[in-house]
């Protein structure tokens, strides 16, 4: 499986028949220096954790250009359909959507989800979610979305046994470093942890350093991929 981290919460995952984008905030993402069209070439699926603009990102443009299927909570994908996205896969917390070589299950997340329209109107876009991906080759990924720690993370581990954790650490809008490290160490048996949602806004922690320190003797699990550069995992 090949992954590319684009900064903030945005990932590209290539496996088998599928090319998956998660929370493709590329335009306006200060960590992303590439070309949006090139970065999203061949995309077959777009998975969204929630409806904030720094996660929906370029979804509408990418979906229209590529025909990618967009997966997300019911209200969010219906809103995207009203914006011209043709192929949607509505789901909700606890539900699983299956494709040829992977499935995605929506988990709970402690956050919010809405769009601020041009006229200032706030549109509710359903509950926020985490995303658990299971692949035909046995790999499993848990993208936590934007969330605080919660005790039922233990159930996510019990039900899904994710081996790769994509974990928000930036504080203010999600867990901070110490709490994110506690979540990883107490509730999960990750083999690889990639910290996300840091350094892209002035109010977020500028680096993963505090998170790595808080991971203590499990810091070797943390991987810091070069932004925009594909890597095998």
* pLDDT tens figures, 168-183: 999 999 999 999 999 9
d(CA 138, CA 164): 12
Q: How confident is the model at residue 117, as a pLDDT?
A: 86
Q: How confident is the model at residue 67, as a pLDDT?
A: 98
SS3 letters for the chain?
A: CEEEECCCCCEEEEECCEEEEECCCCCCCCCCCCCHHHHCCCCCEEECCCCCHHHHCCHHHHHHHHCCEEEEEHHHHHHHHHCCCCCEEEECCCCEEECCCEEEEEEECCCCCEEECCCCCEEECCCCEEEEEEECCCCEEEECCCCCCCCCHHHHHHHHCCCEEEEECCCCCCCCHHHHHHHHHHHCCCCEEEEECCCCCCCCCCCCHHHHHHCHHHHHHECCCCCCCCEEC
**207 band by pLDDT with thresholds 50, 70 and 90:** very high
Q: How confident is the model at residue 107, as a pLDDT?
A: 98
d(CA 7, CA 33): 10
Question: Residues in the chain, how many?
Answer: 233
- Domains, in order of start, for the chain: 2-223 (3.60.15.10)
Kindly report, residue by residue over 33-74, the tens digit of the pLDDT.
999 999 999 999 999 999 999 999 999 999 999 999 999 999
Handedness of CA 120, 126, 127, 133 (dihedral sign): negative
What is the pTM (predicted TM-score) of this model?
A: 0.98
**155 band by pLDDT with thresholds 50, 70 and 90:** very high
Q: How confident is the model at residue 8, as a pLDDT?
A: 98
Is the pLDDT confidence value at 10 over 90?
yes
Instruction: Supply the mean pLDDT for the chain.
Output: 97
Q: How confident is the model at residue 21, as a pLDDT?
A: 98
Nearest one of 113, 104, 107, 166 to 135, comparing CA atoms: 104
Q: How confident is the model at residue 130, as a pLDDT?
A: 98
Kindly report, residue by residue over 105-124, the tens digit of the pLDDT.
999 999 999 999 888 899 99
Q: What are phi and psi of 198, to 5 degrees?
A: -135, 150
Q: How confident is the model at residue 92, as a pLDDT?
A: 98
């Amino acid at each position: 499986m090949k992954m590319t981290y684009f900064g903030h919460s945005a990932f590209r995952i290539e496996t088998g028949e599928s090319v998956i984008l998660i929370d493709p905030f590329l335009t306006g993402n200060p960590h992303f220096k590439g070309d949006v069209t090139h970065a999203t070439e061949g995309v077959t699926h777009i998975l969204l954790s929630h409806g904030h603009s720094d996660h929906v990102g370029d979804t509408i443009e990418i979906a229209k250009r590529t025909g990618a299927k967009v997966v997300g909570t019911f209200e969010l994908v219906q809103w995207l359909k009203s914006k011209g996205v043709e192929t949607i896969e509505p789901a909700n917390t606890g539900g699983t959507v299956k494709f040829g070589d992977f499935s995605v299950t929506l988990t709970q997340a402690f956050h919010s989800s809405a769009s601020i329209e041009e006229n200032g109107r706030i549109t509710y876009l359903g509950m926020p979610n985490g995303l658990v991906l299971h692949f035909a080759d046995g790999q499993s990924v848990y993208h936590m979305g934007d969330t605080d720690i919660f005790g039922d993370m233990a159930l996510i581990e019990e039900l899904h046994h994710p081996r790769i954790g994509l974990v928000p650490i930036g504080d203010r809008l999600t867990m901070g470093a110490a709490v994110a490290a506690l979540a990883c160490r107490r509730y999960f048996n990750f083999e690889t942890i990639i910290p996300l949602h840091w350094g892209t806004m002035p109010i977020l922690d500028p680096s993963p350093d505090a998170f790595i320190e808080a991971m203590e003797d499990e810091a070797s699990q943390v991987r810091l991929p070069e932004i925009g550069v594909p890597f095998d995992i």
